[in-house]
Amino acid sequence: MFRWIVWLLIVANTASSLTANTAKLGMYCFHECYIYNFQSKGDIFAFQHISNNFHVLNLENVLMKRVRQRILERLPPFVDTLKIGNSNQLKWISVPQALRNLHIRYSGLRRIDIAANSSLSIFHIFSSDKLMKVPPAIKNAPKLQYLRLRECGLRKIDLAIFCNHAYLSELLLDSNKIRYIVNTSKNNCTFYNSFTRLVMSQNMLTTVNVELFNVFVNLRSLDLQMNRITSLSGRLVARFLEEFGVDSNKLEHVDLCGWDVPLMDTVAFASNDLTTLPKCLNNWTSVSKLFLEHNKLTNFSIESVAGWNNLTRLSLSCNKLTDIVLSSVHFPKNLEFLIIDQNYLSTLDLSFIPVQSLRVSVNFNLISSFDVNNTSPNVTRLSMMGNSVDCSWETGLEQLYGECIRHHAFTLEPNQQANICIAQKAKRMIYLYI
């Protein structure tokens, strides 16, 4: 039976009487153990009070500059997870051999040492902007599976540093200042087979040669969102890749010809400067969700995604579409959501839509004439507010008997529309992983 153990221990710290620092050591355990204001080797005695049903220790507000190995080595063997938080004074830490999970957030860390043959498997550092590179000591952690360095100060990444990590599966380097991804390894590395997910979102990449990733034969997810990418070169061969996010960049055109990604499922090209669809995109027939909103497309034909029998969601909002072709025998037959809000469409033909059930959203366009009587019953919901004619319906009955409302008052001018799009764009990033 699970017993709750809650207790509190507050002692006047000897060091604090010598310095002006009055923070006192505090401790409690409830689901996880917490120790506050750890500030000297003498505080190790608190570790003895962790009972053996607690596996997670949180050290909050560590007041030491350096936490040496001989301190954390004294953690009881059943504590396999250490979380250090809100410790700006902490600059240097030595990770003992036995620790398996380490999470550090809001620290002043510049240096991390790791004991040889470390058991570290999950390692997450968050918001520690003095950390300028992947700690070289990472080579001592051959069992590493998950590494995330988020909101640190990384400028460049050399994939060679992970060469001997035979279990490394996920590498997340989001929200750094990375401009370059390089590979100085002379050989193939052991992590090429184990690797499944690379996240480089919110960095400063400008050009990416995707062939760098071709050695990751089991790659499932590649996230390059929110960089400054103007060019994607090379041909990606990733036979298991399911998610590809390159939204919120500066791409004007993309050439996907020769890419071999037969299991692709979720693709985000949103928030770029595309004036035409990526070349050879039509070949990506396995895709189920395609995000193309916030670009500069002026026309679109549903035939561009002909044969995409898995496609369920297509979004084209906030482009410059004046023209769209939807009525077609090549309509992707399982499409459920089509979103074309905030474009410049003046007409819409939904007369022939060979799918089971489609919801269409064309809010805030410039549609002034629409023939409800000539609309496919397969369109089960239509939302068209903010047009000068609004024939929205939510049920088949409404479609049959509903009337269209004409109004001019709610129609946005194109420049107002553009401003809404810009405001939305600033906030959005597509969530690939749900």
Ligand X SMILES: *[C@@H]1O[C@H](CO)[C@@H](O)[C@H](O)[C@H]1NC(C)=O
**Nearest distance from C-beta of residue 204 to ligand X, angstroms:** 20
Q: How many chain residues are in contact with ligand X, going by CB under 6 A?
A: 35
Comparing CB distances to ligand X, the nearer of 58 and 140 is 140
Other C-beta atoms within 10 Å of 418: how many? 14
| Parallel, antiparallel or unpaired: strands 266-268 and 289-291 | parallel
Comparing CB distances to ligand X, the nearer of 42 and 262 is 262
Helices (H), 182-294: 191-194
**Nearest distance from C-beta of residue 421 to ligand X, angstroms:** 20
Comparing CB distances to ligand X, the nearer of 102 and 159 is 159
**Nearest distance from C-beta of residue 286 to ligand X, angstroms:** 3
What are the φ and ψ backbone dihedral angles of 354, each rounded to 5 degrees?
-80, 70
The total number of residues shown for the chain amounts to 434
334 binds ligand X, rule: CB under 6 A: no
140 binds ligand X, rule: CB under 6 A: no
The string of DSSP letters for 308-336 reads: -TT--EEE--SS--SEEE---TTS-TT--
Of residues 258, 261, 259, 208, the one with CA closest to residue 233 = 208
- Position 396, amino acid: G
What are the φ and ψ backbone dihedral angles of 223, each rounded to 5 degrees?
-120, 110
Name the strand (E) or helix (H) holding 397: helix 396-401
**Nearest distance from C-beta of residue 303 to ligand X, angstroms:** 7
**Nearest distance from C-beta of residue 260 to ligand X, angstroms:** 4
Q: Work out which of 262, 406, 414, 422 binds ligand X, going by CB under 6 A.
A: 262
- Which of these segments, 62-70, 185-193, 197-205, 220-228, binds ligand X (CB under 6 A)? 185-193
299 binds ligand X, rule: CB under 6 A: yes
**Nearest distance from C-beta of residue 252 to ligand X, angstroms:** 14
Distance CA 154, CA 237 (A): 28
**Nearest distance from C-beta of residue 326 to ligand X, angstroms:** 10
Comparing CB distances to ligand X, the nearer of 25 and 311 is 311
**Nearest distance from C-beta of residue 34 to ligand X, angstroms:** 27
Q: Work out which of 19, 22, 89, 117 binds ligand X, going by CB under 6 A.
A: 117
**Nearest distance from C-beta of residue 198 to ligand X, angstroms:** 10
In the window 204-223, what residues touch ligand X (CB under 6 A)? 212, 215
In the window 338-377, what residues touch ligand X (CB under 6 A)? 352-356, 372-373, 376
44 binds ligand X, rule: CB under 6 A: no
Comparing CB distances to ligand X, the nearer of 262 and 396 is 262
Of residues 338, 374, 379, 342, the one with CA closest to residue 357 = 379
32, 49 Cβ separation under 8 angstroms = no
190 binds ligand X, rule: CB under 6 A: no
312 binds ligand X, rule: CB under 6 A: no
Q: SS3 for 164-201, per residue?
A: CCCCCCEEECCCCCCCEEECCCCCCCCHHHHCCEEECC
Distance CA 367, CA 369 (A): 6
What are the φ and ψ backbone dihedral angles of 387, each rounded to 5 degrees?
-110, 165
Q: Work out which of 257, 368, 406, 416 binds ligand X, going by CB under 6 A.
A: 257
**Nearest distance from C-beta of residue 373 to ligand X, angstroms:** 4
In sequence order, the 6+-apart residues with CB closer than 8 A to the CB of 175 are 150, 151, 201, 202, 203
- Which of these segments, 146-154, 169-177, 251-259, 414-422, binds ligand X (CB under 6 A)? 251-259
Of residues 204, 202, 195, the one with CA closest to residue 223 = 202
355, 331 Cβ separation under 8 angstroms = yes
Distance CA 210, CA 206 (A): 13
Bridge partners of 409?
A: none
282 binds ligand X, rule: CB under 6 A: no
Comparing CB distances to ligand X, the nearer of 206 and 285 is 285
Bridge partners of 406?
A: 389
121 binds ligand X, rule: CB under 6 A: no
Q: Work out which of 280, 394, 416, 431 binds ligand X, going by CB under 6 A.
A: 280
Q: Work out which of 309, 395, 416, 419 binds ligand X, going by CB under 6 A.
A: 309
402 binds ligand X, rule: CB under 6 A: no
Rg of the Cα atoms in the chain: 28
By CB under 6 A, name the binding residues for ligand X. 117, 119, 159, 183, 185-188, 212, 215, 257-262, 280, 283, 285-286, 298-299, 301, 309-310, 352-356, 372-373, 376, 378, 404
